[in-house]
């Protein structure tokens, strides 16, 4: 199976090749450099007119992309480091994500904003954060985060072509060089990939009609150990930290005989709860793992919605997340601030 980097790059290549409306913008994305994390490598050589390197103007680029989208193009913007999405907040929240609703459904803004997030690279407090918690819950904005258990390239393609509304696409930096899991080879696990049924009929943008935001195309993966006793704990995670949860689940099963079910949504906002709720109904316990700071984040919302839905059937719930601190540059300090496999194992043991 390919790496995440390869899959994302191929998705962008295919997008440019298949539709002239696709325009890719970002800082330092031209060949031979090909972008800070090389996701755009090779694109400008193939499509010099539609791969645009920009000044260091994150808000301006997103605004320009939104304007292009309002007038019929399909722009994809790269923000070089996810930490810089603070700079695009007004353009996303008060402009791109708001236009469709406040203009009474008379317009669409099909932009995709891709950005690498996350730590463990030693980049320090302003180049290592997990910032999507500040954008989840924004009405009119879809926030996606791929992992290695479903195809990130497919998710990106769908965000570009099947979504007529703004998408923030979160790529954890440590995912790039990881290989996408082949679900047929996850031999120890039962594997389900679930894409919620669309609530409304859906037309592709290609034939000129409107894809509805309520059409949820982002998959959620569920994994539980094959031929094992029923799981007693649901572990929900997204993005790169899904790998940690996966390692922890194996360890919990083989070392401690604690059997878990893993649930990995790729859509963070609007909050995709279907698989998390159905799993937690079976297990009664929910552990939520995220790399962002602990308080007031995705995990808090997931647990709140689960508690509201399950009532007393939710026996216990916990969060694993980063400490409520900036990310230090020094290796041992950074490791101490961010959540690790051991934290998941310890929390799980306390819950069952």
Binding residues for another protein (CB under 8 A): 23, 52, 54-55, 57, 59-73, 75, 90-91, 94-95, 99-107, 137, 139-140, 142, 165, 212-214, 269-271
Tokens 């937690």 belong to: 280
Of 71 and 230, the one with the shorter C-beta distance to another protein is 71
Backbone torsions φ then ψ of 77, nearest 5 degrees: -110, 135
For residues 187 and 205, give the distance between their C-alpha atoms in angstroms, rounded to a whole number. 38
Of 91 and 148, the one with the shorter C-beta distance to another protein is 91
For residues 147 and 93, give the distance between their C-alpha atoms in angstroms, rounded to a whole number. 25
Least separation in angstroms between residue 350's CB and another protein is 31
Least separation in angstroms between residue 50's CB and another protein is 9
Of 2 and 270, the one with the shorter C-beta distance to another protein is 270
Least separation in angstroms between residue 99's CB and another protein is 8
For residues 127 and 121, give the distance between their C-alpha atoms in angstroms, rounded to a whole number. 9
Of 59 and 337, the one with the shorter C-beta distance to another protein is 59
Of 23 and 341, the one with the shorter C-beta distance to another protein is 23
Least separation in angstroms between residue 54's CB and another protein is 7
Task: Please report, for residues 230, 253, 254, the alpha-carbon distance to residue 225 in angstroms, rounded to integers and kept in the order given.
Answer: 9, 8, 11
Least separation in angstroms between residue 63's CB and another protein is 3
Least separation in angstroms between residue 323's CB and another protein is 27
With a CB cutoff of 8 Å and minimum separation 6, the contacts of 224 are 189, 190, 231, 259, 260, 261, 262
Our separate counts of H helices and E strands in the chain read 11, 13
For residues 340 and 30, give the distance between their C-alpha atoms in angstroms, rounded to a whole number. 35
Give the strand order in the sheet containing 51-53.
Answer: 51-53, 22-26, 74-78, 112-117, 167-172, 142-144, 267-269
Backbone torsions φ then ψ of 97, nearest 5 degrees: -75, -15
Least separation in angstroms between residue 92's CB and another protein is 10
Would strands 74-78 and 112-117 be described as parallel, antiparallel, or unpaired? parallel
For residues 272 and 216, give the distance between their C-alpha atoms in angstroms, rounded to a whole number. 9
DSSP string covering 264-291, please?
EESEEETT--HHHHHHHHHHSEEEEEEE
Of 122 and 139, the one with the shorter C-beta distance to another protein is 139
Least separation in angstroms between residue 115's CB and another protein is 18
**3-state DSSP assignment of residue 262:** strand
For residues 116 and 63, give the distance between their C-alpha atoms in angstroms, rounded to a whole number. 20
Of 87 and 315, the one with the shorter C-beta distance to another protein is 87
Question: Do the beta carbons of residue 277 and residue 306 sit within 8 Å?
Answer: yes
With a CB cutoff of 8 Å and minimum separation 6, the contacts of 197 are none
Of 197 and 227, the one with the shorter C-beta distance to another protein is 197
Least separation in angstroms between residue 100's CB and another protein is 7
Of 165 and 334, the one with the shorter C-beta distance to another protein is 165
């Amino acid at each position: 199976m390919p790496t995440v980097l390869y899959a994302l790059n191929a998705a962008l290549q295919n997008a440019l090749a298949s539709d002239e409306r696709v325009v890719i913008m970002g800082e330092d994305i031209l060949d031979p450099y090909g972008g800070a994390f090389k996701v755009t490598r090779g694109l400008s050589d193939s499509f010099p007119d539609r791969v645009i390197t920009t000044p260091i103007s994150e808000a301006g680029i997103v605004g320009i992309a939104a304007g292009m989208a309002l007038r019929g193009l399909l722009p994809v913007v790269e923000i070089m480091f996810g930490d810089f999405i603070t700079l695009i907040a007004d353009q996303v929240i008060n402009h791109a994500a708001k236009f469709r609703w406040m203009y009474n459904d008379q317009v669409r803004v099909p932009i995709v904003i891709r950005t690498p997030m996350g730590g463990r690279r030693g980049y320090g407090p302003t180049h290592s954060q997990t910032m999507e918690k500040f954008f989840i819950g924004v009405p009119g904005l879809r926030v996606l985060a791929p992992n290695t258990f479903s195809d990130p390239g497919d998710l990106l393609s769908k965000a570009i072509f099947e979504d007529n509304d703004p998408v923030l696409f979160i790529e954890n930096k440590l995912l790039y060089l990881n290989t996408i899991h082949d679900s047929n080879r996850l031999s120890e696990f039962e594997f389900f990939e679930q894409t919620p049924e669309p609530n409304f009929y859906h037309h592709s943008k290609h034939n000129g009609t409107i894809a509805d935001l309520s059409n949820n195309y982002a998959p959620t993966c569920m994994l539980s150990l094959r031929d094992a006793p029923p799981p007693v704990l649901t572990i929900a995670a997204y993005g790169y930290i899904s790998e940690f949860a996966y390692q922890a689940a194996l360890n919990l099963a083989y070392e401690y005989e604690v059997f878990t079910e893993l649930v990995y949504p790729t859509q963070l906002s609007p909050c995709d709860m279907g698989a998390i709720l159905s799993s937690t109904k079976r297990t009664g316990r929910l552990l939520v793992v995220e790399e962002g700071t602990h308080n007031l984040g995705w995990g808090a919302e997931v647990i709140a919605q689960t508690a509201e839905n399950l009532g007393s059937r939710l026996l216990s719930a916990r969060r694993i997340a980063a400490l409520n601190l900036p990310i230090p540059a020094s290796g041992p300090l950074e490791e101490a601030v961010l959540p690790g496999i051991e934290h998941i194992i310890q929390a799980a043991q306390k819950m069952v």
